Amino acid sequence: MKRRSLLQAAGIFCGAWGVDQLLLDRAGRVLAQPTPRKLALLVGINQYRNSSLNGCLTDLELQRELLIHRFGFHPSDIVVLTNQKATRSQIETHFIEHLIRQAQPDDVVVFHFSGFGSLQRLGTTADDIQPVLLTADDPKEDTIANALSQDTLLLLLRSLATSQVTTILDAGYFYPGYSQRGNLKLRSRPSDPASQLIQAELEFQETLLVSTRLDRTQARVRWRSGQLPGVVLSAATDQQFATESLWNGFSAGLFTYALTQQLWQATPETTLRISLQQASDLIAKRVDSKQQPTLIGQKKRDRPLKPFHIAAIQPPADGVIREIEDNGKLVQLWLGGLPPQVLEAYSLGAVLRVETDDQPLLQIAERNGLIAKARLLTESANLQVGQRVRERIRTFAKDVKLAIAIDAALNRVERVDAVSALSGLPRVSAAIAGEQAADYLFSKVEEATQVAALTSDAMKGTIPPAGYGLFSQGRDAIAGTAGESGEAIKLAVRRLAPRLQTLLGAKLLSLTTNSTVSQLAVRASLEVGDVKVAAQHTERSSAATVVPSDGKVLALPAGTPIRLRIENGELSPIHFLVLGLDHQGSGILLNPMQNGQAQTSIAPSEAAIVPQSPTDWIIQAPSGLAELYLICSRVPFQQAQAVIGSGTGFVRSLPNFLEVAQAVLQDLHRAGGTPSWINASELFALDVNVWTTFCFSYQVV
């Protein structure tokens, strides 16, 4: 080892040797602070030597804004390491200097890593194969050792004096042999059979082992059994994909974006498991079951388990003011709290209110990704950087399209034909996968994919030949969309056109989800028998019953009877509709009846049980992901009801699902009226004072 490398390693060792003393006499060396301190180390790497990612720096921005504006972290207590500054030695040094040396008992600590991961053999036995976080290459090292091993991370976490630590790992370890899956990029790299930790790293681990009073076997047993300090949130399991996604104007880790967005909306009674489950629902819609976030750690069984172990948080928000320009008439906003699907469709003209006493209104004038500029609509002398903003009027174009990515695995002729055919459909746009944001993927169905999507009963018959079909963004086949072998692309697109219209209808309904910002007092729960398995409520309603959650997408077996409970906390009636996609992707309406009449409203302070008979709604096979939209309004759904028409049966199929969804938007648009400063001819304008939409997702198993 060269002298400069030895000196660099020695500096780390000196810091590490201080860890043991730090743990023994910390109380005598540092004065007690009146309140717990909050420290964070955020690491994100887009630029690697032989490959790259696009969303890791966005992840850090998402996390930093959340910690500062919702959880009260001081900006100076957050250290950010990006790209070439995030070498293994620099991460370890900053972990010691910023976190271990400063954190006192009961202080709050956050460590976040976004980048590539891998499974590496770090020794000679099977036990020496473990997940590693790939760090930036260090040009000062004689031997490239650009990885933070599982052993090292555990020992660093164990060296902290506080148990109030949260570790977020948005990296994958399983590498399937390719870096792009559908429209998503994988955050994993192939293992290197020749990979070995350099001597400096091994000596560094030995130092930490002494200070933590562990040996290597104990350390690995603790990791595998989940006995890590605090909680560890991972984007996926060791054998699943961790992905990053394209949105309009930026890329981000699917896990980081989903989780931070949910935490922007968390109320004081919201537990970390509930936020994680809601984030998992969003992820499942893009990658199905191939990416399932995990929660482990010694604090995971805490009741209640609060995000970052912080009970007192700032009120929910959709964003914050970043800059004030033109004497307060123009402001720059950060909109990381908006639901991702809403932000993508957000139109110029949307109105937000500033959370101050006078609640001035801001109207979006331009937007680029998560950043927007807004002009002041009402006078205010109290605008300040850091003030939170909430939605007041949500706007999006009346001609929102369904974006379909063309799989890059198709040959050039296939891609050209697919773009041409899809572009000919009304309100459908086409893009090449990996280059633009999209809702779904068009590709060829391989026989193996079809077999995996079939039930055991279906596999007993003839396996259908391969053809073209629709997939989630993560390239999971969408049931019932596969065509026959030899089918021309134009014919395949024509065959898929009705399904695409149904999916567009579901997209429109997803743009109305607003339970965290709605000014209606409504509570809703999904029940199996008398047991609530999922619950949501608006900010104005009283706190909903806390439903136990393991942080995963709700799974319900076929044959389970379920029902919705809807509680009206308003002083006037509310009107409601229940629409959605069943587990096979068909558009449906739940048609509740009361005393032989269709039930479409709920009296003040009353509740509706949908359906009243427990046998009217029983989950059917085969497996699949279902989503339901409960839409409540202060005024009747006159246009939607006219389009729906009459019919029998509790679960009704809606071939005209897109038309129904469009009519719902028109009803909500009319319910709130349209201010003169919004272009009503081109935009839907939805006032948060007049409607609430809850979305419930569940996996049929």
- CATH number, domain of 338, equals 2.40.10.170
Instruction: Give residue 614's Cα distance to chain centre.
Output: 33
Q: Do 441 and 385 reside in the same domain of the chain?
A: no
Q: Do 338 and 289 reside in the same domain of the chain?
A: no
Q: Which of 255, 281, 309 is the last residue of a domain?
A: 309
Q: Residue 354: inside a domain, yes or no?
A: yes
Q: Do 344 and 372 reside in the same domain of the chain?
A: yes
Q: Do 72 and 183 reside in the same domain of the chain?
A: yes
The encoded tokens of residue 11 equal 């500096």
CA dihedral 308, 313, 314, 318 (to 10 degrees): 50
Question: What parts of the chain have a pLDDT lower than 50?
Answer: 1-33, 142-144, 447-464
Nearest by Cα to 435 from 256, 253, 257, 184? 184
Residue 16 CA to residue 172 CA, distance in Å, equals: 28
Q: Do 28 and 148 reside in the same domain of the chain?
A: yes
Q: Residue 505: inside a domain, yes or no?
A: no
DSSP tag of 85:
G
Cα distances from 466 to residues 413, 433, 446, 485, 496, in angstroms, run 18, 21, 5, 5, 15
Q: Which amino acid is at 611?
A: P
Q: Do 160 and 288 reside in the same domain of the chain?
A: yes
Q: Which amino acid is at 205?
A: Q
Cα distances from 498 to residues 47, 344, 429, 654, in angstroms, run 42, 24, 15, 11
Q: Residue 514: inside a domain, yes or no?
A: no
Q: Residue 504: inside a domain, yes or no?
A: no
Nearest by Cα to 513 from 372, 357, 376, 664? 664
**DSSP-assigned beta bridge partners for residue 625:** 699
Which residue carries 């007192």 as its tokens? 312
Q: What is the pLDDT of residue 622?
A: 84
Cα distances from 54 to residues 173, 183, 329, 435, 649, in angstroms, run 18, 13, 34, 11, 49
The encoded tokens of residue 69 equal 């504006």
Q: What is the pLDDT of residue 460?
A: 39
The encoded tokens of residue 375 equal 């002009």
Contacts of 432 (CB under 8 A, 6+ apart): 405, 406, 408, 415
Side-by-side strand order, sheet with 607-610: 531-537, 522-528, 563-568, 607-610
Q: Which of 363, 396, 429 is the last residue of a domain?
A: 396
* Cβ–Cβ < 8 Å for 112, 59: yes
Rg from Cα positions in the chain: 26
Q: Do 84 and 118 reside in the same domain of the chain?
A: yes
Q: Do 282 and 336 reside in the same domain of the chain?
A: no
Q: Residue 411: inside a domain, yes or no?
A: yes
Q: Tell me: the pLDDT tens digits for 87-127?
A: 999 999 999 999 999 999 999 999 999 999 998 876 666 56
Domain that holds residue 413: 402-497
Q: Do 555 and 616 reside in the same domain of the chain?
A: yes
How many structural domains does the chain have?
4
Q: Residue 329: inside a domain, yes or no?
A: yes
* Cβ–Cβ < 8 Å for 360, 380: yes
**Three-state SS letters, 476-494:** CECCCCCCCCCCCHHHHHH
Q: Which of 283, 309, 335 is the last residue of a domain?
A: 309
Residue 124 CA to residue 147 CA, distance in Å, equals: 18
Q: Do 640 and 492 reside in the same domain of the chain?
A: no
Q: Do 145 and 220 reside in the same domain of the chain?
A: yes
Q: Which amino acid is at 209?
A: L
Residue 609 CA to residue 630 CA, distance in Å, equals: 13
DSSP tag of 52:
B
Q: Do 166 and 247 reside in the same domain of the chain?
A: yes
Three-point CA angle 480, 483, 484, nearest 5°? 135
Q: What is the pLDDT of residue 386?
A: 93
- CATH number, domain of 266, equals 3.40.50.1460
Biggest alpha carbon–alpha carbon distance for the chain = 87
The encoded tokens of residue 470 equal 């629709």
The encoded tokens of residue 462 equal 């003839």
Q: Residue 509: inside a domain, yes or no?
A: no
Q: Residue 225: inside a domain, yes or no?
A: yes
